[in-house]
Chains A and B, each alone.
Chain A
Amino acid sequence: MPLTTGVNEDSGVAPVGGTWNLSPIEWPMSPSEVSSLSHQIEDGDAGRVLALAGRLDADSTGAVWTDLARAVETAPGSIVIHAEKVDYCDGFGAGLLLDLQRRALAKGRALRIEGLQPAFQEMVGAFDPEHYKTLDIGRGAQTSAVTSIGQAATDVVKDLRGFVTFIGELALALIWAVRNPRSVRWKDAIRTAEVAGADALPVVVLVGFLIGFVMAFQSAIPMREYGADVFVASLVGLAMVRELGPIMTAVALAGRSGAAFAAELGTMKVNEEISALTTMGLSPARFLIVPRVIAAVLMTPILTIFANAAGIAGGYIVFISLGHPTVLFQEQLRLYIDMNDLMGGLIKAFVFGMIVAGVGCMRGLQTTTGASAVGRSTTSAVVSSIVIVSLTDGLFSVIYFFLDF
């Protein structure tokens, strides 16, 4: 039962080494064929015979690998590989022959390679099929769902513990900064304030404006049905000043500066710059985190004021386009928004700024090694910031409710 597959150009060359002691095999040849390896599988008295001819290399072995592996695994008895006509064999050929050997070994079949040139033999002999009986490619043991859940829970607890430690360190560093204002690196703080504050102004104003505009527009349509569209002014004003201004500014800050802090500190960690600071006796918290937190804490309320103003301006445009006079808009704002609302929002912004800068720096310092580690830190800086800002916002709502603020 001759199974003939594979066609080649080189197989017509005379056997290179040894004698061709098989019953004559008719190699299907055609000069136009580009494949450079051919094989024939035949069952004879001596067992299954695999005859190879041509080049055993990266380009040729892929096409025949599966066929040959199957031929070895389904062999009824012993297997002989005739390799006299193999005129080139590199690591891929050695890999193929090794694979066939280990498959035969696994099936308990004897496998003999005959006629392989001594130079190639050495390469094939470099790997012991016994050692490759099982291919442990070390992808790590599969963990059960229970283990994964436990691992995740432990990670959350560890993360929380790290967070508490970091809050403590940050608090100490800030107390130190208040006591030693001359030692604070104000130059860094001002530079960061410029990048995190002034440079963020266009995006914060744009987003604030659009939120105010869209909110006013969307609410004006149903409110108009009840003749309540004058309240659009107070709706936009209150929502911006108390909630959306600070939250939106914090989210923009997290995306711009929190991520930047994490990436910057993470890269410093990977480059051992943090270690260098530590061994110089300088505290990374004082040296790197304090200026960033101060900058963010001072800038966030200012950005929030701009966001509030832009949002209210957006609402105002919708308001006057509904045909109401400007004075009515002013009156609505005066009636419904007082200083407490404004201050409540700015206090939140102050805290949010601290959270975003602190979390960004913390994630940066938690960076492990490798190129992907900085990416992970940056992602988790933004995600953690937004989650913590949202939770804190909820907490503020409760506190303000009880304080009647």
Chain B
Amino acid sequence: MASHEDTIIQVRNFTAAYGDSVVIDDISFDVHRGEIFVILGGSGCGKSTLLKHMIGLYEPKTGSIAFGGDDIVTARGDKRVEILRRFGVMYQLGALFGSMTLLENVRLPLEEYTDLPPDAMDLIATTKLDLVGLREFAGHMPAEISGGMQKRAAIARAMALDPGILFLDEPSAGLDPITSAELDDLIKRLSRSLQITFVIVTHELPSIYAIANRVIMLDKRVKKIVADGDPNDLRENSDNPWVRQFFNRQAEEHSKP
């Protein structure tokens, strides 16, 4: 497991609400450098909401989300762009630009944020596609490749500017177990070789056991974090029965007929 001295994201007293309905109520946690950090919970518990707040798409009701001391909630203008550049995001369906080839998709952030010569951009973009095993498909349009490949290409695009943090929203959703396992391997490899910190929203248990070295679990009834730790450890030793149930894939008592 990664060293825990090094806090890379600091979430403090975070409350998220849609109008008057509070989804997450006053939670605080840290993400440490090099971790594969999984946000977990049942449907509707606010996992994706939390992720969208962390990447600055939504503004929290209260609280702060700091990247290395810089709060993304209050940052504006150039400062905000500078924070946004520190992380990459893979959206649930890839969100590749359909009118561009994979290479052009990966090249886009390079064109906007670096002063590299054009052939250097091609080379860098190609290395990113190489890292996710899609070099041969550089000239393909997103519509011409499979869903799993689209997600890998989306990871390559998220890595274009070499961010230290990658946010992945449901990376395994809609993928077959083999493709999903390949994606898990890719995440582990990138984490190991590039020391990228991953923040992943998922509820695929096999995937969580395979990759996560820390999970936090949200519960929609209390709107708080109900578990925080190593998934294998939580499965066996959590003092919260609902958490153990979740990890052991048992249906909830009250949902049984």
Contact = CB atoms under 8 A, between A and B. Distances in A.
B184 to A, nearest CB: 19
A290 B163 CA distance: 53
A369 to B, nearest CB: 4
Interface stretch (A20-28, A61-69, A220-228): A61-69
Interface in B103-118: 103, 110, 113-117
B120 interface: yes
A65 B116 contact: yes
B122 A61 contact: no
A20 to B, nearest CB: 26
Contacts of A57: 162
A379 interface: no
A98 B138 CA distance: 18
B101 interface: yes
Interface in B149-192: 159, 161-162
A2 interface: no
A90 B101 contact: no
B146 interface: no
Contacts of B126: 132, 135, 137
B159 A138 contact: no
A372 B138 CA distance: 19
A91 B120 CA distance: 12
B128 A91 contact: yes
Interface stretch (A41-49, A121-129, A380-388): A121-129
A262 interface: no
- What is the interface residue range for chain A against chain B? 20 to 34
Given A58-B113, A126-B193, A138-B103, A95 B127 contact: yes
Nearest to B143: A369
Contacts of B25: none
Interface in A367-392: 368-373
A226 to B, nearest CB: 57
B123 A139 contact: no
Contacts of B124: 91-92, 95
B26 interface: no
B159 A91 contact: yes
Given A98-B127, A137-B126, A63 B193 contact: no
Contacts of A138: 101, 103, 137-140
A359 to B, nearest CB: 24
B34 interface: no
Given A62-B115, A65-B117, A91-B159, A372 B123 contact: no
A135 B123 contact: yes
A118 B101 CA distance: 35
A98 B123 contact: yes
Q: Is the interface of A mostly helix, strand, loop or mixed?
A: helix
Contacts of B125: 137
B5 interface: no
A137 B138 contact: yes
A96 interface: yes
A99 interface: yes
A91 B116 CA distance: 13
A323 interface: no
Contacts of A368: 143
A142 to B, nearest CB: 13
B194 A95 contact: no
A281 interface: no
A123 B193 contact: yes
A137 B103 contact: yes
A63 B138 contact: no
Nearest to B97: A371
Given A62-B115, A126-B193, A139-B139, A370 B120 contact: no
A90 B194 CA distance: 8
A362 interface: no
A372 B162 contact: no
Contacts of B231: none
A62 B101 CA distance: 23
A126 B193 CA distance: 9
A146 B142 CA distance: 29
Contact of A123 (B123, B161, B194): B194
A137 B103 CA distance: 7
A383 to B, nearest CB: 19
Nearest to A136: B138
A128 to B, nearest CB: 10
Given A123-B194, A138-B139, A370-B141, A59 B114 contact: yes
B44 interface: no
Contact of A137 (B130, B139, B142): B139
B99 interface: yes
A370 B142 contact: yes
Contacts of B78: none
Contact of A94 (B101, B114, B127, B159): B127
B131 A126 contact: yes
15 contacts: A61-B120, A62-B114, A62-B120, A63-B115, A91-B159, A98-B127, A127-B130, A135-B119, A135-B123, A137-B125, A137-B126, A369-B143, A370-B98, A370-B143, A372-B98
Interface of B: 97-99, 101, 103, 110, 113-117, 119-120, 122-128, 130-131, 137-143, 159, 161-162, 193-194
Q: Which A-B residue pairs are the 6 nearest by beta carbons?
A: A138-B139, A370-B98, A62-B115, A90-B162, A369-B143, A138-B138
Given A371-B98, A372-B98, 15 more contacts: A58-B113, A58-B162, A59-B114, A62-B114, A62-B117, A90-B194, A91-B159, A92-B162, A95-B120, A127-B130, A132-B123, A137-B122, A137-B139, A138-B103, A138-B137
